[in-house]
Amino acid sequence: MQAVGTTRIIREMSIEQPVIEVSNLVKRYGDRTVVAGITFSVGEGEIFGLLGPNGAGKSTTISILSTLLDFDEGTVKIAGLDLATEKEAVKGLIGLVPQDLAIYPSLSARDNLSFIGRIYGLSGRRLAGRVDEVLELAGLSDRAGEPAGNFSGGMKRRLNIGAGLMHKPRVLFLDEPTVGVDPQSRNFIFDHIEKLNEEGMAIVYTTHYMEEAERLCDRVAIMDGGRVLAIDTVPGLVGLVKGGIILLGVPGESAETARKLFQSLDMRSAMAPDGRLKIETDRVDEAVPKVIALCKERNIPILSLEMLKPDLETVFLNLTGRRLRD
C-alpha cells in the first residue's frame, strides 16, 4: 500500500459477460470536473458498489449511466448498446431507484406502481399482475390502497425500489437507497436486493456506508473527487491494508520527530490531513503498547490514540487520508 492518495489501485477482474462497460468517462460542469475519466465494468448478475463520501461523483456516474445526464468524454455501453447513440433503447433495459423518494405521496402504493408500469408500456392483466408481484416483493400488499404519504420511511423506500422494478429491468441502479431508513427496513431492503441478484439482475449500488458495501457487493469501486481510486472484491480491497492503522495525536512540534521514529522501526507512518500521525502496521495489537512505550521514552505527549482494524473504512482512509464520512 502506498502513501496517502498518491496511487490508484485498480484490480479489474476479467468480466466474461459485461453488462455495463464504462471507459474513460468524463463529466464537467463548466470548469469543474465531477467525473474525471473513470473506467470499470459490471458483469451480468453482479452487485457492483460505488463507495465514496458525498461529492465523490457516485450520483453523477449513476445519473449518466441511467441516461439522465449527458457526458463529455469516454464511452458507456449497456448490454452492448452505446449510450451515446442508443439512449432510448438503453432506457428500456435499466431501472432507476433515485436517491430521492421518487413516489407520489398522495397516490396509493398500487396507483404509484400502476402509473410507472403504464409508462413502461404495461397494461391490462399484465400490469395488474406485475403490480401485485411488486407489492408482494416490497412487503406492501396489505397496505396497497393506502396513500404512500402515510407510510414509514422504510416502507416508502421499499415502494421506491419497487417502482424501479416494475418492468423487470436487466440492470438496476440504486442510488443510496437506504438513506433515512431504520435498521429493520434496511435489512429488508438488503434481503430484497440479494433476492433480485439471485434472479440474475445486475445491480449498481452507490453508498457511503462501508457496511452496506461489505454486505452486498461482489465488487466495490472506491471513488473520491470524481476518480475511481480502487476496484476489487471487498476482501481484495481490505487485503490492501496490511494489519491495521493507528491514528496518533501528538503536539505539532513533536509530530515530525515521532514520524521519523516510527518509520525507523519499520512502521509505515505519514501525516494525515487532520494533523494526526497515521501509522500502518502488520500487527496492530502488538504495535499499540510499543508506540505508547516509545512515546513515553522520548517524552512525546500522546493527545489521542485510535486503533483501526482493516476494513473498507481503513482502505478509504489509507487511499485518501480522510474518512468516508468526513
Partner 1 sequence: MRKITANQIFALTWKDLKLFFKDARAMVLIFLQPFLFIVIMSYALAGVYGSGKPIKILAVNEDRGKEAEHVVKDLSGLSGIAVETSWEGVTLTRQEAEELITGGKRGLAVIFPADFSSVLERRPDEKTQAATKVLLMADPAAPASVTGPVLGAVQGMVERATFTARMPGGIDYLFDRYDMTATGISREALKEKAEGAVTRTSPEGGEKAVTVEKVAPKSMKIKQFPDSFQQNVPGYTVYGVFWIASLLAASVLREKREGTFARLMAAPISRSAVLAGKLIPYYLINILQIAIMMAASALLFKITFGRSAAGLAATSCALAACATALGILISALARTEAQASSMTVLLLIAMSALGGCFVPRFLMPRALQTIGLLTPHAWALDAYQDLIVRGYELIDVLPKVGVLVGFALIFFAVGIRRFRFE
Provide the grid cell at 244: 491495521
Verify binding: residue 296, partner 1, rule CB under 8 A. no
Q: Is the Cβ of residue 154 or residue 244 nearer to partner 1 in the bound state?
A: 154
One residue of 3, 9, 107, 128 binding partner 1 per CB under 8 A: 107
The bridge status of strand 18-29 relative to strand 73-78 is antiparallel
Number of residues that bind partner 1 (CB under 8 A): 31
The bridge status of strand 227-232 relative to strand 9-10 is parallel
Provide the grid cell at 152: 414509514
One residue of 39, 67, 141, 187 binding partner 1 per CB under 8 A: 67
Q: Give the distance, in angstroms, between the CA of residue 295 and the centroid of all CA atoms in the same chain.
A: 38
The enclosing H or E element of 199 equals: none
Count CB-CB contacts under 10 A for residue 11: 12
How far apart are alpha carbons 32 and 57 in whole angstroms?
12
What is the closest distance, in whole angstroms, from the C-beta atom of residue 139 to partner 1 in the complex? 21
Residues 111-140: x/- map of binding to partner 1 (CB under 8 A)? x---xx-xxxx-x-----------------
How far apart are alpha carbons 296 and 251 in whole angstroms?
14
What is the closest distance, in whole angstroms, from the C-beta atom of residue 262 to partner 1 in the complex? 48
How far apart are alpha carbons 304 and 258 in whole angstroms?
14
How far apart are alpha carbons 64 and 25 in whole angstroms?
9
What is the closest distance, in whole angstroms, from the C-beta atom of residue 60 to partner 1 in the complex? 11
Stretch that binds partner 1, among 22-30, 88-96, 194-202, 241-249 (CB under 8 A): 88-96
Q: Is the Cβ of residue 98 or residue 226 nearer to partner 1 in the bound state?
A: 98
What is the closest distance, in whole angstroms, from the C-beta atom of residue 118 to partner 1 in the complex? 4
User: How far, in Å, are 78, 250, 294 from residue 257 at the CA level?
Assistant: 53, 10, 12
Verify binding: residue 180, partner 1, rule CB under 8 A. no
CA atoms within 13 A on the CB side of 265: 17
Residue type (1 letter), 302: I
Q: Is the Cβ of residue 31 or residue 88 nearer to partner 1 in the bound state?
A: 88
One residue of 88, 142, 198, 266 binding partner 1 per CB under 8 A: 88
Stretch that binds partner 1, among 40-48, 89-97, 242-250, 273-281 (CB under 8 A): 89-97
Verify binding: residue 142, partner 1, rule CB under 8 A. no
Verify binding: residue 102, partner 1, rule CB under 8 A. yes
Verify binding: residue 81, partner 1, rule CB under 8 A. no
Q: Is the Cβ of residue 148 or residue 230 nearer to partner 1 in the bound state?
A: 148
Q: For residue 312, give the 3-state DSSP assignment.
A: helix
Q: Are 242 and 234 in contact (CB under 8 A)?
A: no
One residue of 18, 49, 164, 226 binding partner 1 per CB under 8 A: 164
How far apart are alpha carbons 291 and 33 in whole angstroms?
42
Q: Is the Cβ of residue 71 or residue 316 nearer to partner 1 in the bound state?
A: 71
Q: Is the Cβ of residue 101 or residue 287 nearer to partner 1 in the bound state?
A: 101
Verify binding: residue 34, partner 1, rule CB under 8 A. no
How far apart are alpha carbons 153 and 105 in whole angstroms?
12
Q: Is the Cβ of residue 118 or residue 325 nearer to partner 1 in the bound state?
A: 118
Q: Give the distance, in angstroms, between the CA of residue 317 and the centroid of all CA atoms in the same chain.
A: 15
Binding stretches for partner 1 (CB under 8 A): 63, 66-70, 88, 91-92, 94, 96, 98-104, 106-107, 111, 115-116, 118-121, 123, 147, 163-164
